[in-house]
Copies of this chain bind each other. A is one copy, B any other.
Amino acid sequence: MVKTIDWVDGKVMMLDQSKLPIDVTYIECTDYLRVAEGIRKLWIRGAPAIGIAASMGIALAAQQIRAEGIEDFTKKLEPVYKTLLETRPTAVNIQWAVNRFRTFVESNRDAGIQHLRELLIGEAKKVLEEDIALNRAIGLWGAQFIKDGDTILTHCNAGSLATGGYGTATAPMRVAKEQGKKFSVIADETRPVLQGARLTAWELMEDGIPVTLITDNTAGALMQKGEIDLAIVGTDRTVRNGDVANKIGTYTVAVLCKEHGIPFYVAAPLSSIDFSIPTGDLIPIEERDASEVTHIFGTCRIAPEGVRVRNLAFDVTPARYVTAIITEKGAFRPEDLKELAEADKDISGLRIGAAQ
């Protein structure tokens, strides 16, 4: 399976996604500043992948800190945290990683610095492994919806490249493949930033999953012809009532699915579900720079100089369009999602189907 980041022989190996699909370049990071550069320059993107990168950056820094005692060691980790946090100020997963490692160091302050260095490497690897296991669990719950012969539409990249492995929307596909099912995928190119064309098509080809690339305009016509059996997408933020914020164009896919009676699934790790927001209309939607629309890769101009542009980065798909939300704890009807807010509630009766 495509690996976007890994810990190899005391170094962090990071795939430079910004060059995909033209060049496949792995960058060897021998110090944490290089990891921070990778996060800042979007060599790595996707919330879980960024969290893993930050974790590995901290572990890498810990190997090189020269400290006199644990107090000094802890103090010298602070600028590392700060640098990582400043790479992408809105990425909650960096904050999450920093909190996790701060607590971890505190809990192991009596281990001795040399041993603590090793423990930190173990913890960073554990963050990666946990993410892979979590995504595989989404895949196990989601694979039940994929039948032999199906064609699956996906939008944007909620793939391996955005995570430690398996991806979220792509996890049911990868598990279905492990189970020997035969199916194919249609990837929306996903304008403006073309994550579908650049990333999803690439990573599925790398993993030997049959994939066909289309423009975003083409999904409707293929549904009309009966050529799409289900859609699976990821989510940037899903809220308490089951409304789903995801890459712009997801809502259009959902409306088309409804019109054609095609099931529409959302793969959502619990970490992406924000129970504090009651409904989707309260999710702030980022409007991004016009140049993403007027220029391809920042260089190839496709629109008149000075044209006015609306560039919404995300849209919100109301819960009524969503067939099921697939989490690592099971697949649920969107209206049942709120029951997951309390960690110890018995939700077994709400699960759709079974993990395969």
| Interface positions of A (Cβ within 8 A of B) | 21-22, 186, 189-192, 194, 197-198, 201-202, 205, 210-222, 224, 247-249, 251-252, 255-256, 258-259, 285, 293-294, 296-297, 299-312, 315-316
Contact = CB atoms under 8 A, between A and B. Distances in A.
A306 B205 CA distance: 9
Nearest to A248: B217
3 smallest CB-CB distances across A and B, nearest first, come from A217-B249, A220-B252, A221-B315
Contact of A189 (B201, B302, B312): B302
A300 B299 contact: yes
Contacts of A312: 218, 221-222
Nearest to A190: B217
Contacts of A303: 21, 189, 197-198, 201, 213
B217 A307 contact: no
18 contacts: A186-B310, A189-B303, A190-B217, A202-B304, A210-B308, A212-B307, A212-B309, A214-B293, A215-B293, A217-B249, A218-B310, A219-B252, A220-B251, A221-B315, A224-B315, A297-B300, A297-B302, A300-B300
Contacts of A251: 220-221, 224
Contacts of A201: 303-304, 307
Nearest to A192: B215
B304 A222 contact: no
A194 B302 contact: yes
Nearest to A301: B22
The A interface is mostly helix, strand or loop, or mixed, namely mixed
A293 B212 CA distance: 11
A216 B189 CA distance: 11
Contacts of A205: 304, 306-307
Nearest to A212: B308
A217 B308 contact: no
A249 B214 CA distance: 11
A307 B213 contact: yes
Contacts of A308: 210-213
A211 B21 contact: no
Contacts of A214: 293, 309-311
Contacts of A202: 304, 307
Contacts of A258: 259
Contacts of A221: 248, 251-252, 285, 312, 315-316
